[in-house]
């Protein structure tokens, strides 16, 4: 949610106004989806398109948390480094997973093209390196290229032509990636779901589920639902009915801000129109409305007031782009997401008729679209590609101890990344000074040689005249 800095309330997101009814009468459907975020809505839409009767139960309001407060970036891949993914499941398996993630991005692009052609899309994404990693860049290009992704490497000069900062070196450019207004996309999914006959209920928490038998029973405060398939598409707030699922997610709060209008100078500093994220996982930003900067970076494993991080975000902007040191923040907000221990989303069947689509923290919008459509096809068309995610089982996240360890690890990793970036810039400046000194020495040597040559020539002329 975009909220003024002076208002740190955790109010409902602007993503959807919260005008759906509460479930008050018993219901019998083929598919019941618990969780009204991006993954849940996509599952509902695709199940309804296949002819199923579908109900979505949301404990609060549609997209009230991460689904309605995201930056709208659509990238290929997952939240885990591609080399780790290949090491765990092998190259061919990783390629199939990667292609599914690409299809998720294609799903979003095609949905917008068909049903909301006026929606603004920012093309491309840059994953920038905070260290001078030219050799690694070649390795990344080869590895990601082997997975079938359209990617190109940018050298330092090209990166700094687009981003006027010395903090970034090389970059991976994903030309097929894009970003859009996440809240606007959420509203589009709600409209499409209702057009397909999906019944959406807000303020309807699930207090208990009985997944046994052919018909699953879902109990809410005022009514019950019977369904052939039950999809748990909730985040860390899914609560007691799915405590096993909730306990596998490490809650992470990420804080973001929108600057005040910066005028023409913003384009002089940031010429790239797509999304930018650094390889340290610290900063993620893009330009919106032509002259505003949307920036996210700080993270905690405990909820805190967004206003506390306004100064941190301003400091990050100032460090990366000193030219924008006086940029004021117009709005600041936070959202929580569930991060899995293995870093991959949780997609699949827990038991016959009981499905899970969760753990999309750090995964990007493409995976929520991919996960929802994949499960819908699995339930109703027998598509078994969800089994590709079988190696990434439900793993306990460690409770409060896990949250503490996660926060410490985040601080240490970001500190290590910052130190590495600082060292890289120091080395670059030292190399530049060394080159300048070499050039000055070369000029001095050339000058001495020129004077010597002139003196030698004059001496020869003199000797010749005497002879």
Q: What domains does the chain contain, in order, with CATH numbers?
A: 3-400 (3.50.50.60)
Chain mean pLDDT for the chain: 84
Q: Give me the mean pLDDT over the 73-101 stretch.
A: 93
CB atoms within 10 A of CB 221: 12
Q: Which residue has the higher pLDDT, 298 or 11?
A: 298
The pLDDT-based confidence of 285 (bands split at 50, 70, 90) is very high
Q: What is the pLDDT of residues 426-453, one digit of tens each?
A: 444 545 555 666 666 667 756 667 776 6
* pLDDT exceeds 80 at position 252: yes
Q: Give me the mean pLDDT over the 95-115 stretch.
A: 97
Q: Which residue has the higher pLDDT, 279 or 435?
A: 279
Q: Which residue has the higher pLDDT, 416 or 321?
A: 321
- Among 71-75, 80-84, 377-381, 463-467, the range scoring the smallest mean pLDDT is 463-467
Q: Give me the mean pLDDT over the 308-330 stretch.
A: 95
pLDDT at 152: 94
Q: Give me the mean pLDDT over the 339-363 stretch.
A: 87
pLDDT at 5: 44
pLDDT at 176: 95
pLDDT at 281: 81
pLDDT at 401: 39
The pLDDT-based confidence of 34 (bands split at 50, 70, 90) is very high
Q: Give me the mean pLDDT over the 345-366 stretch.
A: 88
The pLDDT-based confidence of 206 (bands split at 50, 70, 90) is very high
Q: Give me the mean pLDDT over the 315-323 stretch.
A: 96
Q: Give me the mean pLDDT over the 214-239 stretch.
A: 89
pLDDT at 44: 98
How many Å separate Cα 232 from the centre of its chain? 22
pLDDT at 358: 87
Q: Give me the mean pLDDT over the 11-31 stretch.
A: 80
* pLDDT exceeds 90 at position 461: no
Q: Give me the mean pLDDT over the 366-374 stretch.
A: 95
The pLDDT-based confidence of 405 (bands split at 50, 70, 90) is very low
* pLDDT exceeds 80 at position 92: yes
Q: Give me the mean pLDDT over the 328-345 stretch.
A: 88
């Amino acid at each position: 949610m975009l909220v003024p800095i002076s208002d740190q309330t955790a109010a409902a997101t602007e993503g959807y106004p919260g005008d759906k009814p509460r479930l008050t009468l018993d219901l019998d459907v083929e598919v019941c989806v618990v969780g009204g975020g991006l993954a849940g809505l996509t599952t509902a839409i695709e199940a309804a398109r296949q002819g199923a009767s579908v109900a979505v139960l949301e404990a609060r309001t549609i997209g009230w948390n991460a689904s309605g407060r995201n930056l709208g970036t659509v990238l290929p891949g997952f939240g885990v480094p591609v080399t780790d993914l290949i090491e765990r499941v092998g190259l061919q398996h990783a390629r199939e997973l990667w292609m599914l993630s690409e299809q998720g991005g294609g799903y979003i692009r095609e949905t917008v093209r068909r049903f909301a052609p006026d929606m603004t899309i920012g093309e491309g994404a840059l994953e920038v390196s905070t260290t001078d990693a030219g050799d690694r860049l070649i390795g990344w290009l080869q590895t990601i290229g082997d997975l079938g992704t359209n990617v190109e490497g940018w050298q330092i000069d090209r990166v700094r032509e687009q981003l006027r900062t010395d903090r970034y070196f090389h970059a991976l450019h994903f030309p097929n990636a894009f970003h859009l207004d996440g809240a606007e996309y959420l509203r589009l999914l709600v409209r499409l779901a209702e057009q397909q006959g999906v019944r959406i209920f807000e303020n309807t928490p699930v207090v208990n589920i009985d997944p046994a038998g052919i018909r699953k029973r879902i109990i809410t405060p005022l009514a019950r639902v019977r369904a052939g398939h039950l999809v748990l598409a909730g985040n860390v707030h899914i609560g007691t009915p799915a405590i096993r699922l909730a306990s596998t997610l490490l809650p992470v709060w990420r804080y973001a801000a929108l600057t005040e209008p910066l005028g023409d100078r913003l384009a002089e500093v940031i010429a790239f129109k797509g999304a930018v994220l650094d390889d340290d996982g610290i900063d993620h930003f893009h330009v919106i409305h032509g002259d505003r900067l949307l920036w996210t970076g700080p993270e905690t494993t405990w909820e805190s007031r967004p206003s506390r991080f306004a100064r941190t975000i301003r400091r990050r902007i100032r460090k990366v782009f000193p030219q924008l040191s006086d940029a004021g923040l117009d709005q600041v907000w936070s959202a929580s997401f569930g991060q899995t221990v293995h870093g991959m989303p949780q997609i699949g069947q827990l038991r016959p008729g009981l499905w899970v689509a969760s753990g999309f923290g750090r995964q990007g919008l493409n995976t929520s679209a991919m996960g929802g459509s994949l499960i819908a096809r699995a339930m109703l068309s027998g598509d078994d590609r969800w089994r590709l995610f079988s190696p990434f089982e439900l793993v306990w996240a460690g409770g409060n101890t896990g949250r503490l360890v996660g926060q410490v690890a985040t601080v240490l990793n970001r500190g290590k990344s910052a130190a590495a970036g600082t060292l890289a810039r120091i080395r670059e400046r030292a190399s530049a000074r060394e080159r300048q000194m070499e050039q000055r020495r070369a000029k001095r040597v050339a000058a001495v040689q020129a004077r010597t040559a002139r003196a030698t020539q004059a001496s020869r002329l003199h000797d010749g005249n005497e002879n």
